[in-house]
Every structure is written in structure tokens, then in C-alpha cells.
Structure 1
Amino acid sequence: MVTRYTQSEVYDLVNTRLNTSRPTIINTNLGLKEIEKTYTNRVHSRIAGTYAVIQFKGRDIRLQKRFERG
């Protein structure tokens, strides 16, 4: 669960960077639906409507390295 303070800060960060045309990279383990549930519709709308979503899929490198070490 995310606090209202965190929701507000994330919104302010995303909104300010959009309004000032600043390049932004957002890295998260959340999908767009989870972003909307976790933060707010306003954050989701700005991210989904403005940014290109690029998914990186694959194995968890940390687990793979642990498995290789035995």
C-alpha cells in the first residue's frame, strides 16, 4: 500500500516533468493497471498517454546467478 503522500509526490514529479518537457525514464515492476491502482488515475493517465511503454521480459538475473552458483 502506498501512502497519500507518496501518491502526491509521484504525481507532482510526473506532472512537473511533463509540463516542463523534461525527458523522463520510469522504471517499475508495475504494469499500467497496477500503476493506476497503486497511485492514481491522474498518474496513470499521464504515463499511459505520454510515454512509450517498453517491456523487458526475461528471467530474473539474480535468481539465475544464484542457481548457477549452486
Structure 2
Amino acid sequence: MLTDLWMSYSASFLGKDWELVVHFFGLCQLKYGGLAFKMFPLSKIAEVFALYKASGAIKGRILVNFEA
């Protein structure tokens, strides 16, 4: 789940661009430090929604790892 719009409207949505991103994230060859505020496994999704309820708690994009 990506909050905000981030390449979600490209012509090849879920195409080669996304496959490459997923592949290299999986190999830990992409650093997302500047791209995301925090990353959570799906098992912690309640914490993600709690952040949205806390005023000013979110400082950027949140990545949710659905395979963790």
C-alpha cells in the first residue's frame, strides 16, 4: 500500500517498472530512506492507522510490506 500518488498512474501500471522496483527492493539493492518516512510489515497495519489519527505524526510516505 502506498499513500499518496507515486507512479500509480504510469502507462504500464503494474508493468515492468513496478516489477523492477519490487525485484530490487527484495534484493535490498534499493535504498528507500529518502523515499519513505517509515516501513511496516502488514502485521503492524493497526500502528499505521494509529499514526494517521495522531495529528502531525506522519512526516512522509509510509510503505507497508505485504510479504513480511
TM-score interval for Structure 1 and Structure 2 normalised by the shorter chain = under 0.3
Q: TM-score normalised to the size of structure 2?
A: 0.27
Q: Quick check: which one's strand share is greater?
A: 2
